[in-house]
Amino acid sequence: MERTATVLVYSDDVNTREQVRLAAGRRPAADVPAVEYLECATLPAVLTALEEGGIDVCVLDGEAVPAGGMGVCRQIKDEIFECPPVLLLIGRPQDAWLATWSRAEAAVAHPVEPSELAASLAALLRRRLPSVV
């Protein structure tokens, strides 16, 4: 049986989490595994999921409240051993420098453009799971 990848999607907004799932789909690219999504609406849920392990990529909403994805990204990069790569949803293209500050591996503007999100997610999955490509 083929391995599936687990993608954590963090946003306080259920619609944003749904947009990410629909945009990336079940398989963001033909050469990456199928994806299962773990949705988190709070920072404690994100931290618990990451501590339990098994997360391959995180997609964090930079506009989430009260804990924005940029701050969450920086925190997990400091606190989680072998932290998975992070795809950050940013409110404006001009916020890309904040994604760099937060140490995210990739950033896409929100609202998401499906092909851009899928391509960015697939690239991070390839880096995280090189043996399956």
Selected residue with higher pLDDT from 95 and 49: 49
Sheet holding 5-10: strands in order across? Answer: 35-40, 5-10, 57-61, 86-90, 106-109
- The CA distance from 41 to 45, in Å, is 7
For residue 44, what pLDDT band results from cuts at 50, 70 and 90? very high
Q: Residues 44, 50: contact at Cβ < 8 Å?
A: no
In 3D space, the residue among 40, 57, 41 whose CA is nearest the CA of residue 5 turns out to be: 57
Give the pLDDT confidence score for residue 1 in this predicted structure.
Answer: 53
Top pLDDT among 1 and 57 is at 57
CA distance linking residue 19 with residue 68, whole number of Å: 18
Residue 130 has pLDDT above 80, yes or no: no
Whether the pLDDT of residue 132 is over 60: the answer is: no
Which class is domain 5-127? alpha beta
Q: Where are the domains of the chain?
A: 5-127
Confidence of residue 2 (pLDDT cuts 50, 70, 90): confident
